[in-house]
Amino acid sequence: MGIGVTPQADDPRAYDVAVGAGWQIGSGVNGGMLMALLGSALRTTFTGDGHPDPLSVTGYFLTAARPGPGVVHTRVLRTGRSMSTGSASLVQLEDGREVERVRALATYGDLAGLPDDVRTTAVPPDLPPPERCLSTADAPPTAMEHAAFLDRVDLRLDPGCVGWAVGTPSGRGVIQGWLRLADPREPDPVLLLLAADALPPVTFDLGLFGWTPTLELTVHVRALPAAGWLRVRHATRNVAGGLLEEDAEVWDAAGRLVAQSRQLARLPRA
Amino acid sequence: MGIGVTPQADDPRAYDVAVGAGWQIGSGVNGGMLMALLGSALRTTFTGDGHPDPLSVTGYFLTAARPGPGVVHTRVLRTGRSMSTGSASLVQLEDGREVERVRALATYGDLAGLPDDVRTTAVPPDLPPPERCLSTADAPPTAMEHAAFLDRVDLRLDPGCVGWAVGTPSGRGVIQGWLRLADPREPDPVLLLLAADALPPVTFDLGLFGWTPTLELTVHVRALPAAGWLRVRHATRNVAGGLLEEDAEVWDAAGRLVAQSRQLARLPRA
């Protein structure tokens, strides 16, 4: 999906990465993009074991990443027959000192090799077709400042969820829409890590603007995505104590629930 | 909640623990109990920073823990003003060799110090009163083998969710009931880590019996629980590819959603 990681010559478990690099939101870096970066490094680490695909990736966000160079260090904790588990850490230099941005744990496997039983009772979000949804490029620039990020991702939001852009948030705490890479390139498991945190925060739909920093984000990748648009739905049900959970579902063009995620985030400060 | 951890004299970030010790299920150890064990060690680590309470704890389960002695090693990754983040690892000796059982990441804070806004839209599970629910002691012993675990926890299952015990699972993938410590002792944040994985697996309600090993489990603790019974609801919506997610909600006696969790688990092998 165009997120390159380069193993270092003297340490094959350390990967040079370009943080941001077209994935900034304003001066920050999209959290889903950081997950995809860690996921790419782990994919390289585990491919040799026959476990190239993320099944579960958890990131704990420590400090705000900045656009620029970084290094992802991976470590293998366990290699099993059908799955491997490891940790990953993204660090960046700050005033000449290494600062950790995100620590991750992850279990990888082989999605193509999973049994083909599907007994999903969840139903995909009901969305108008992409051409009747709103490109975030249509939104007032002050509301999002997605900037470079929007050159990489083609995001079409359900018009029923974008009242916040014109001062009338629905108050339901739901944001949903279509997503694909702007290349266009077809989705892969690492893109699903990005898709789980690529929409505007559900707090916008509650009329709460400002930065909603993620404390923890876990993505379960449940199947190889079919080619075509992804449908993504974000929702929250427990906004309390200055925190909220945000659940995401990612459905592929074949109608399969290919990823589920949950994050704990801090409400914007009033 | 009666889960003791003893800092080692020469390493205050290593804690001697008794794994199992009344929390076994058959020959295995309850996953929620392992989370509570790691959570207790991290609580001790972070209390000095003014961050005694788990806000988010994630465990990746590596190998099957056994009843007996173990050591939890904790490490501080970041200490902030309102939160601290660290990692924890449970190891046990196996044939004289240290084997890692669970690796965790966690963010701790001070639940009593959070703002008092509550805008929860989730609704608590509708349950008959505890005295009209079924103690798991009423279930056929072959169906559960909860054994020692049930001496510690008073669990009352909704009669509408226990058809599996008499050969008629509902097929909905839901299990819910009341939970408290058998002591009886009032709930605390570490108990909520246990409560998130203390009910029989939702696979029972789908008619799938056998071991459902957890790959990953994340618990968000959202508020200090009030005294009294906890209401716990487990549900799944995506059983596919030999895996399932299991979401849990824990509500306290005051009607507050005090914990939310999600796990990725493997379906019992057919």
- Rounded to whole angstroms, the Cα distance separating B4 from A26 reads 47
Residue of A nearest to B106 (CA): A60
Cβ–Cβ gap B241/A117 under 8 Å: yes
Residue of A nearest to B123 (CA): A237
Mean pLDDT of A208-214: 90
Question: Mean pLDDT, chain B, as a whole number?
Answer: 91
Chain A CB within 8 Å of residue B223 CB: yes
- Residue of A270 and B45 predicted with greater confidence: B45
Residues composing chain B: 270
pLDDT at A143: 46
pLDDT at B143: 46
3-state secondary structure (DSSP) of residue A188: coil
CA angle B88, B219, B182 (to 5 degrees): 95
Reference B137, options B81, B173, B177; nearest CA is B177
Task: Provide the number of CB pairs (under 8 Å) joining chain A to chain B.
Answer: 157
Mean pLDDT of B132-159: 72
| Amino acid type, A23 | W
pLDDT at A184: 77
A30, pLDDT greater than 70: yes
Mean pLDDT of B224-241: 97
A1, pLDDT greater than 70: no
Hey, of A60, A82, A208, which one would you mutate to test binding to chain B, going by the most B CBs within 10 A of its CB? A60
pLDDT at B211: 85
- Residue of A29 and B96 predicted with greater confidence: B96
Q: Which of residues 135-174 of B touch A (CB under 8 A)?
A: 173
Contact in structure between B42 and B84 (CB atoms under 8 Å)? no
pLDDT at B29: 83
For the question of an ipTM over 0.90, the answer is: yes
Chain B CB within 8 Å of residue A83 CB: yes
Task: Report residue B6 as tokens.
Answer: 């003893």
Alpha carbon of residue B248 to chain centroid: 10
- Residue of B7 and B143 predicted with greater confidence: B7
pLDDT at B153: 84
H-helix or E-strand containing A43? helix A31-47
- In order, the DSSP letters of B29-57 are E-HHHHHHHHHHHHHHHHHTTT--EEEEE
Task: Dump pLDDT digits (tens) for B184-206.
Answer: 789 999 999 999 998 989 999 99
Hey, of B83, B94, B243, B269, which one would you mutate to test binding to chain A, going by the most A CBs within 10 A of its CB? B243
Give buried/exposed letters for A113-128 (b at 16+ CB in 10 A, else e).
ebeeeeebeeebbebe
Residues of B in contact with A77 (CB under 8 A): 60, 62, 100, 103
> How would residue B70 be classed by pLDDT, with cut points 50, 70 and 90?
very high
Cβ–Cβ gap A100/B78 under 8 Å: yes
B166: exposed, middle or buried (Cβ count in 10 Å: 0-12, 13-18, 19+): exposed
Residue of B nearest to A172 (CA): B121
Residues composing chain A: 270
> How would residue A238 be classed by pLDDT, with cut points 50, 70 and 90?
very high
Chain B CB within 8 Å of residue A119 CB: yes
B270: exposed, middle or buried (Cβ count in 10 Å: 0-12, 13-18, 19+): exposed
pLDDT at A46: 97
Task: Dump pLDDT digits (tens) for B74-109.
Answer: 999 999 999 999 999 999 999 999 999 999 999 999
pLDDT at A136: 66
Chain B CB within 8 Å of residue A73 CB: no
> How would residue A228 be classed by pLDDT, with cut points 50, 70 and 90?
very high
> How would residue B149 be classed by pLDDT, with cut points 50, 70 and 90?
low
Residue with tokens 């959202």: B222
- Rounded to whole angstroms, the Cα distance separating A36 from A18 reads 12
Mean pLDDT of B31-55: 95
B144, pLDDT greater than 60: no
Worst-scoring range by mean pLDDT, A27-31, A70-74, A99-103, A115-119? Answer: A27-31
Cβ–Cβ gap B60/A62 under 8 Å: no
Chain B CB within 8 Å of residue A214 CB: no
- Rounded to whole angstroms, the Cα distance separating B51 from B46 reads 5
Task: Dump pLDDT digits (tens) for A132-172.
Answer: 999 866 655 544 455 556 677 889 999 998 898 888 999 99
- Rounded to whole angstroms, the Cα distance separating B75 from A117 reads 40
- Rounded to whole angstroms, the Cα distance separating B154 from B179 reads 6
In DSSP terms, A75 is beta-bridged to A87
Hey, of A75, A108, A216, A239, which one would you mutate to test binding to chain B, going by the most B CBs within 10 A of its CB? A216
Residue of A nearest to B262 (CA): A262
Q: What percent of chain A has pLDDT over 70?
A: 90
> How would residue B253 be classed by pLDDT, with cut points 50, 70 and 90?
very high
Cβ–Cβ gap B243/A83 under 8 Å: no
What A23-27 contacts at long range (C-beta under 8 Å, 24+ apart), as own/partner pairs, is A23/A148, A23/A149, A23/A152, A24/A67, A24/A147, A24/A148, A24/A149, A25/A144, A25/A145, A25/A146, A25/A147, A25/A149, A26/A145, A26/A147, A27/A67
Cβ–Cβ gap A103/B83 under 8 Å: no
pLDDT at B255: 97
- In order, the DSSP letters of B184-249 are -----HHHHHHHTT-SPPGGGGGT--S---EEEEEEEE-SPPPSSPEEEEEE-SEEETTEEEEEEE
- Rounded to whole angstroms, the Cα distance separating A210 from A201 reads 10
- Rounded to whole angstroms, the Cα distance separating B177 from A104 reads 33
Chain B CB within 8 Å of residue A212 CB: no
Cβ–Cβ gap A56/B60 under 8 Å: yes
B146, pLDDT greater than 90: no
pLDDT at B182: 84
**Would you give the DSSP letter of residue A225?**
P
Contact in structure between A223 and B99 (CB atoms under 8 Å)? no
Q: How far apart are the first and last CA of chain B?
A: 37
Cβ–Cβ gap A243/B264 under 8 Å: no
Task: Dump pLDDT digits (tens) for A46-104.
Answer: 999 999 999 999 999 999 999 899 999 999 999 999 999 999 999 999 999 999 999 99
